[in-house]
């Protein structure tokens, strides 16, 4: 610099972290209840390594009994909202999720709910 013809080499390194979410508890077991009675549970969703705000979407499983009449007995509510927010200390705030199930038919079900962000992570 300052008319000096010497060259300077700068090396940079870094680590890319992919955003992810964890669940507490890691799986959900809803208790058996009589027909048309709601059973519900609350889970904490713990986002990690999100650098900007994102919104969670939920894909709920559908049940297809033998008669072919598909139903979606699950519902999900986020009392504090579905947005993953970066707090002032650089961490992501947890989200509270209420999951409920109600069916007018006898059913036993094992399935998966998919929680994704805006970038389909």
Kind and range of the H or E run holding 24: strand 20-24
* Residue 46 resides in a domain: yes
Residue 81 lies in a domain: yes
Q: What angle do CA 118, 53, 28 make, to 5 degrees?
A: 65
Number of domains in the chain: 1
pLDDT in tens, 43-85: 999 999 888 889 999 999 888 777 777 778 899 999 999 999 8
Please report whether residue 43 resides in a domain: yes
Q: Is residue 120 part of a domain?
A: no
Single pTM value for the model? 0.76
For residue 76, the Cα-to-chain-centroid distance in whole angstroms is 11
Structural domain boundaries, residue 76: 20-105
Question: Is the omega angle on the peptide bond into residue 51 within 30 degrees of 0, that is, cis?
Answer: no
CB contact set of 11 (below 8 Å; sequence gap of 6+)? none
Has residue 119 been placed in a domain? no
Answer yes or no: is 11 within a domain: no
Q: Which among 62, 72, 50, 60 has a CA at the least distance from the CA of 118?
A: 50
């Amino acid at each position: 610099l300052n008319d000096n013809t010497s060259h300077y080499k700068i090396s940079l390194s870094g680590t890319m972290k992919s955003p992810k979410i964890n669940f507490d508890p890691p799986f959900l077991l809803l208790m058996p209840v009589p027909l048309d009675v709601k059973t519900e549970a609350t889970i904490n969703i713990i986002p990690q390594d999100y650098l900007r705000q994102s919104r969670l979407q939920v894909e709920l499983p559908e049940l297809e009994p033998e008669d072919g009449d598909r139903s979606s007995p699950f519902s999900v509510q986020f009392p504090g909202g579905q947005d993953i927010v970066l707090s002032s200390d650089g961490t992501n705030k947890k989200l509270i999720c209420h999951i409920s199930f109600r069916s007018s038919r006898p059913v036993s079900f094992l399935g998966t709910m998919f929680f994704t962000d805006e970038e389909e992570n």
